[in-house]
Each structure stands twice: as C-alpha cells, then as structure tokens.
Amino acid sequence: MPAPLPRRDDVPAASSAAAAPAVASENTSGRGPGGRPAPAVDGLERAFTAMLAAAAADPRGGGAAVALWQHGRPLLSLHGGEAAPGRPWDASTPCLIWSASKGIAAACVLHALGAQDVPLAAPVAGWWPEFAAAGKERITFADLLAHRAGLAAIDRRGLAITDHERVVEALAAQPPNWPADGSHGYGARTFGFLADELVRRVAGVPLGTYWEQVFRQPLGLDLWFGLPHDRIDAAAMVMAPRSPPPPGPFAQAFADPDSLTRRALTEPGGILAPTVMNTPAMRTAVLPSLGAIATADALARFYSILAGGGEGLFRPDGIRAMNTTLSGGQDRVLIDRTSFAAGFMTNESGIYGPSPTAFGHPGAGGAIAFADPAQGLGFAFIPSAMHAGALPGPRTKALIASLFPEG
C-alpha cells in the first residue's frame, strides 16, 4: 500500500463570520523572541509526512492532522490517511481528542471565575456548599484545578459516565483519596465532572453550553463538547493501540483493579474502548474530561489565542493561571513526574518543546495541544490510531522535536 501523502489545504471556513485566513506556508525557522529557536515549519511538515508513511504499513488504516498557528494566524495545516475505512481525512475532519479536552474545560472554568471575580484561592464550598462534606471545606478552586484536592478517583462505583448529577453528588459527599499534603494525582475522569460543576455553580450553565456560547460560536471553532447530530458521520474513527503499555510502574498499577491509578482512569464509566467512543451516543455526549471532538486547526487556533494573551477574552490573571505551576513532582495516578497549573499541564518536563512558559494538555493515544506564549504559537496534533499510555509517546514527541530542532 503506498504511503498517503499529507494534504496542505486552506484552513476550512469556520461556521461563523470569524473564519480564519488561508494557510500561510512560509518557513519561519530561525531565532524567536529572546533568542529561543523559532518554529521549524518545514521540519514539522517532513516529520508528519514520515509519520504518515510509517503508519501506511498499519493494516488498520487511520489518519491524523497537525496544525500550527502563530499570533492568531495559521502557519501550517496538514492532514492525511483515512478518517474511516474508504473515507479520506480532509481539512474539515474532526476527531476525538481524549484528555486534551481538559485544557478546553479548564479555559471555561477560568473564564467563568474571572467573569464573576472569583479568586482561585477561594474555597469551592462557598459556591458549592455540599462539597464541604467529609473534610473538604478548605479545598480551593486552585486545589481542584491543579489535581491536588485528592479527588482523582470516585469512591462510588458503577455510575455512568454520562450521569453528571449522580457523579458530582458522589464526589461532593466523599472524602479525599489522600490527606492534604501538597501532592497531586491526575483526575483522569473526575476532573471533567468537577470542572463542569464549577462552571454550573459560578456561571449558572453547564460547561458545554458555556463553551458553545462564549467561545465556539463567537470564534467559529470546529471544536465541540457534544458533536452536533449532523456532524456525527464526519468524525474520524479512533482506533485502539496495537499493544498494551510497556512494563513499568504505571502498567503495574493499572493492572491492579483496586489501585488509585486504575480507579482514576476507569471510573465512572468503566474502560471506554474506542469502539464505544465511536458510537453516536458518545460522540454527542458532553464529556469535559475526555470527550471533546475537534479539528486540529480549531484546537491550534484556540491555543494561539491563549498564547497571545487571550485577545481580550481573558483577564491577565486568568492567562497567568494557565501556566503558573501549582502542583508538580511524582503523580500519584500516572506514576510519573507531571506538573499542573489551573487545569493545564505545564512544561516542567519539556513535553511542549523548549519554552518554560508553554502550557497545554495531552490526550490518551497521542493527541496533544499547547500554547507557547514566548512565540505566540498554538500547536495541535490529533491522530485516530492510538498509542498505549496517557502521556505523549514517541510519535508525538518526534513531531514536537521536529518543530524545535535547536531546543
């Protein structure tokens, strides 16, 4: 089977008057602000082409898209492979981004808090009284968003991932998973429910509605929490990894059904296989932790807006909250070193390249999106064929390394 060539297209017209300009194809290699390496656009294109060529040997098929925006304008938009068997991936193909959804959800929370002048240091129970149960009265918005509140896993089992009311009722009633000691543990499933409830309590509407009204419609972004029914068949099919995670502490912890790692990554809802996530019911569900569906261009464009200071959409302190690390070190859930600001993963481990101020969020299987404020960059990579693990793998790392070869 010949290797599919990446397509370089004009950015598709958005669904509102805020449509993006056509793709610029110039190479901006060189030095950026402060002497940092400027993005190597040609290098990224070559790496993406090589990735597609390697993927062509996979009998499952699949495809991917990558986008790079700077100062609100596109530098590169590429896609290739198949969105589904016999259906090419085109410029308008959206795909599930898994936990990269959390960055978008965090942006909604921070915007809502800013709009109501609610400080991150405020106790959550001031807006959600039931949350004070079981010793949680001092937990702040910052604690919750930085995964240090001890609510990485839900104690009550058997709840549906679409049952927001019962899940947040259970989380409000339970004690933290560990005593408050400054450590953190990634809330793979719980984060989205907590973020959604914070927006409901502060802004009065669900997070999905908030995203739609404040960001998606005004900006014309093809990025949804709950895919519209008329777009269900346009989404790419996600495919499970060909192999399990490599042996190590994370794999060992995940294999234990009673471990914090296993509980955090599977409850509520159980193991969500790609075959489940490809169903119309899941594509249209609002799942802020792991269910956003987007094009790479929409995701990169939004992050370029954040990289540029928010273009008036956010208060300065809201933007600062996105890349000011609040928790770091060994993650109790992922059994690896991670660092988080208020909902966004920060760059202490260098997963977004060389810039210390970069922030974003990865998703299971290889999806990733980030902002690099030092250069006004927004980057997004969305594949349909997953690799094993929750953090970026070799394929994702190679693409980012190609963008910053001097980093």
The pLDDT assigned to 244 comes to 83
Give me the domain span that covers residue 224: 7-105+209-403
For residue 71, what are its two tokens?
């100062």
Structural domain contains residue 327: yes
Q: Supply 121's token pair.
A: 């240091």
Sorted by sequence, the CB contacts under 8 Å of residue 66 that are 6+ apart come out as 44, 48, 76, 77, 78, 79, 296, 379, 380, 381, 382, 399
| Cβ neighbours for 78, distance < 8 A, ≥ 6 positions apart | 6, 7, 8, 45, 48, 65, 66, 67
Work out how many domains the chain is built from and give that number.
1
CATH number, position 42: 3.40.710.10
Burial readout 229-261 (b: 16 or more C-beta within 10 A, e: otherwise):
eeeeebbbbbbebeeebeeeebeebbeeeebbb
| DSSP β-ladder status, 377-383 and 368-372 | antiparallel
Q: pLDDT (tens digit, 0 to 9) for every residue of the chain, 407 residues total?
A: 333 345 555 433 333 222 232 233 333 334 444 445 568 899 999 999 999 998 888 777 899 999 999 998 999 999 999 999 999 999 999 999 999 999 999 999 999 999 999 999 999 999 999 999 999 999 999 999 999 999 999 999 999 999 999 999 999 999 999 999 999 999 999 999 999 999 999 999 999 999 999 999 999 999 999 999 999 999 999 999 988 888 999 999 999 999 999 999 999 999 999 999 999 999 999 999 999 999 999 999 999 999 999 999 999 999 999 999 999 999 999 999 999 999 999 999 999 999 999 999 999 999 999 999 999 999 999 999 998 888 899 999 999 999 998 75
DSSP category for residue 305: H
- 1 within some domain: no
Task: Name residue 257's amino acid.
Answer: P
Angle at 274 between CA 268 and CA 277, to 5 degrees: 60
Residue 148, domain member (yes or no)? no
What is the length of the chain?
407
Return d(Cα 13, Cα 4) in angstroms, integer: 24
Q: What is the pLDDT of residue 8?
A: 55
How far apart are alpha carbons 36 and 404 in whole angstroms?
9
Q: Identify the helix (H) or strand (E) that includes residue 81.
A: strand 73-84
The dihedrals phi and psi of 193, each to the nearest 5 degrees, come to: -65, -40
Closest listed residue to residue 313, CA positions, set 18, 2, 62: 18
Decide if 386 is inside a domain.
yes
Residue 352 placed within a domain: yes
Instruction: Please answer whether residues 236 and 83 qualify as being in contact, where contact means their C-beta atoms are separated by less than 8 angstroms.
Output: yes
Which residues fall within 8 angstroms of residue 263, CB to CB, at 6 or more apart? Answer: 152, 153, 154
Q: Which amino acid is at 42?
A: D
Widest Cα–Cα separation across the chain: 60
User: How far is 184 from 328, CA to CA, in rounded Å?
Assistant: 7
Q: What confidence score (pLDDT) does residue 406 get?
A: 75
Residue written as token pair 């991936």: 89
Q: Flag whether 378 is in a domain.
A: yes
| Three-state DSSP class for residue 275 | helix
- Listed as own residue / partner, the contacts of 34-40 with beta carbons closer than 8 Å and 24 or more positions apart are 34/374, 36/354, 36/355, 36/374, 36/375, 36/407, 37/354, 37/404, 37/405, 37/406, 37/407, 38/375, 39/68, 39/70, 39/75, 39/375, 39/377, 39/403, 39/404, 40/402, 40/403, 40/404, 40/405
> Which DSSP letter does residue 94 get?
-
Q: What is the pLDDT of residue 39?
A: 84
The residue to which tokens 């304008």 are assigned: 73
In a domain, 373, yes or no: yes
191 in a structural domain? no
